[in-house]
Amino acid sequence: GGKMAARLSGGENRLVSLPLSRIRVIMKSSPEVSSINQDALFLTAKATELFVQYLATHSYKHGRGKEKNALTYSDLSHTAEECETFQFLADILPKKILASKYLKMLEKEKRDGEVGEDDEEDGEEDDEDET
């Protein structure tokens, strides 16, 4: 694919909006990666862009921010929690909770060894108070 790479170097900004140099740095940070093919770099960037778009669109459609015409962090974390496709993002997009609530959870955890199901559920109402 030398031809594709040549064509990209000129108009690559139009085709992909993420900075390829940053993506190259991230890919290189993996010890298994020694060299990165230009097409592979481009396709990784494009796939990432489409994925982020999909995550944002899905979160917006299913989120509460819709009424305010906004996409909120809690919409994203709700998607990561509820939607199977995005569950691998749960650690990166944790649900925001109040510090006081977290400390209570830790206390409870010490007492009974595990956090109960009901604790996680009542995080829902809190989201609305914040805004």
Residues 53-92 pLDDT 10s? 999 999 999 888 777 888 989 899 999 999 999 999 998 8
**How far apart are alpha carbons 86 and 42 in whole angstroms?**
23
Percentage above 90 pLDDT, the chain: 43
The whole-model pTM stands at: 0.60
**In the numeric block, which tokens belong to residue 21?**
């140099």
70 to 29, 66, 67, 74: CA distances (angstroms): 34, 6, 8, 11
Please report which residue ranges of the chain form alpha helices under DSSP H.
2-15, 20-28, 38-62, 73-82, 99-112, 117-121, 123-130
In the predicted model, is pLDDT for residue 6 greater than 50?
Answer: no
- Residue 9: per-residue pLDDT: 52
Taken in order of first residue, the domains within the chain and their CATH numbers are 20-112 (1.10.20.10)
88 to 23, 32, 45, 94: CA distances (angstroms): 20, 22, 19, 11
- Residue 78: per-residue pLDDT: 92
Q: Among 21-30, 80-89, 90-99, which stretch is predicted with the lowest mean pLDDT? A: 90-99
